[in-house]
Amino acid sequence: MDDNRGAAHKSRLVLNRPVYLGMSLLDLSNHLVYYFHYNQIKAQSGERCRLLYTDTNSLLDIQSEGMYNDIAEYKNFEDTSDYPKEYFLHSTANKNLVGNKMKDENNKHKEG
C-alpha cells in the first residue's frame, strides 16, 4: 500500500501569472483612498475630521451630525446604487465605475 495517498506532489512549479498585479492594485486603491481623504473630506471639513483608522483599502474618519448627510455632500464620489431605490442617496450614476468611487460597505444599516 502507498503511504503517500492523497498527497499532491509536483516536481515543478510554474509561476505564469502576474503575482505583482495584486500589489499594484492595492497600492492604487490606497492612493485613491488617501487622495479622497486629504483632498476631498479634509479639504472641505477641516479640523472636523481626522484619520482614525485605516484598513487595506478603507478608512474611518468620523465627527459628524449624520454620516449619510455627509455622504450626500460627496455623492459624486460615491457608488450608492446598493441603497434602496426610495432612499434619498440612491443613484445609479456611479454604479460599478472604476476609479475614485467609494462604496458604503455598511449600506444595510441606515441612520434615520
Between CA 9 and CA 42 the distance in angstroms is 54
Contacts of 33 (CB under 8 A, 6+ apart): 54, 57, 58, 59, 102
Query: pTM score, two decimals?
Result: 0.57
The number of distinct structural domains making up the chain is 1
pLDDT at position 81 is 87
pLDDT at position 85 is 87
In a domain, 59, yes or no: yes
**Residue 73 neighbours by CB distance under 10 Å:** 13
pLDDT averaged per 10 residues, the chain (length 112): 59 74 79 82 79 69 73 81 87 81 68 48
**Residue 80 neighbours by CB distance under 10 Å:** 23
In a domain, 66, yes or no: yes
In a domain, 60, yes or no: yes
pLDDT at position 5 is 59
Residue-range definition of the domain harbouring residue 33 = 20-103
